[in-house]
A and B are shown apart, each in its own frame.
Chain A
Amino acid sequence: MNRRELFANVTGVGAHSEAARACSGADIVPNVPLRTHENVEVRFYDDLVKGRQVLINMMYASCESYCPAITARLVEIHKALAERMGKDLFMYSISLKPAEDGPAALKEFAKMHGALLPGWTFLTGDPYDIETLRFALFRHNHIKLDLDTQAHTGKLRIINDAINRWVHVAPFASKATVLQHISWADPPKTLEQRLEDNRRLQEQIGKEVEQFGYRKVI
């Protein structure tokens, strides 16, 4: 009688492996192959994230609850940051149901919600790769929450790969809050820019104190 090993002789992963210690973008963000709503094949890290500031959310075309509302909020965000979109800021919406959402379905979803905008790409791919991506970008390290794919439609991940900064915000927060979180991942400003920002802020504080008797702006 012949014996057959069910699994290949693959070296296992130790508790203190290289992957577990790694902390830079290329090691954290999976470089999985994906397909855009324009049916172009891309590598997620190399082509879309490397060296860029990006906003990433998950959705699916047949979603009738959170996804349309969040997409509408993201359209507002896109309008507020239109000057930067497609230049130094990019938006990616990744399908949670890649088996259902081909490029055409995603393009239709984007068109229906007014999201066919510069710098905004809808993405689909192999379910195995999407699962890898979902855990890498949105996991809670909690089995129940991580297995609830629906919960992942309510998150927005902001990454500035050039400075290795990750920020997270709920897209249902106010537009000002979302924009503020995005700014936390902005490229570092020069001294002149920061002095100018401080001057404007102080000017606004001065006006508010004069008008209301206290500072309102945070």
Chain B
Amino acid sequence: MDIKAIIFSGIALTGTAGLLWAGLTTADAERHDDPSGHEQEEVRSLTQQGDILPLEQILQEARQHHAGKVLETELETDDDRYIYEIELLDESGEVWEMEFDATTGKLLKQERED
């Protein structure tokens, strides 16, 4: 059999298996860390320093736009700005993604997820 084909197959197989394995195990590790995650600590210290508004305040604001259940919250940086990303399921079953400036609380963007 062609040695080139064997080498290429070997790379493809070990590479795919290795990457998928790494993806599975890393994802697990992250989920274990989550409850006391590094991110939450960062959010807390930024809030205490007054760099960003508390998440609770943003959530209240978000609920005024769309009453419903909050699915996910995330703090991100974008162009050196802090942004809260809120995902929310409203009462008619639509999922909304909203972005708030974390410093001023201003609503930057909202869109319906499809």
**Is this pair of chains taken from one and the same complex?**
no
Residues of chain B having any CB pair with chain A under 8 Å: none
